[in-house]
Amino acid sequence: ERRPHLAGAAGAALCGHALAAGWCVRIGSGRAVKVTDAGERALSALLGIEPAALR
């Protein structure tokens, strides 16, 4: 299912950093990712995003 997302250079940079930092992991061979526990903590601390919003 497609959902709203960040696009372009900002989205690519954020995704690359999140993957490198272990904040998310790829699911299979597609474009989908899953936010890790570490990612939930980081996004909450840095951006105020509540973990429930990431599920």
Distances (CA, A) of 28 to 31, 32, 33, 48: 8, 8, 9, 28
Alpha-helix residue ranges (DSSP H) falling in 2-53: 8-21, 37-47
Q: Which residue has the higher pLDDT, 41 or 6?
A: 41
pLDDT number for residue 20: 98
- The pLDDT-based confidence of 43 (bands split at 50, 70, 90) is very high
pLDDT number for residue 16: 94
pLDDT tens for 23-42 read 999 999 988 999 999 999 99
Question: How far apart (Å, rounded) are the C-alpha atoms in residues 21 and 1?
Answer: 26
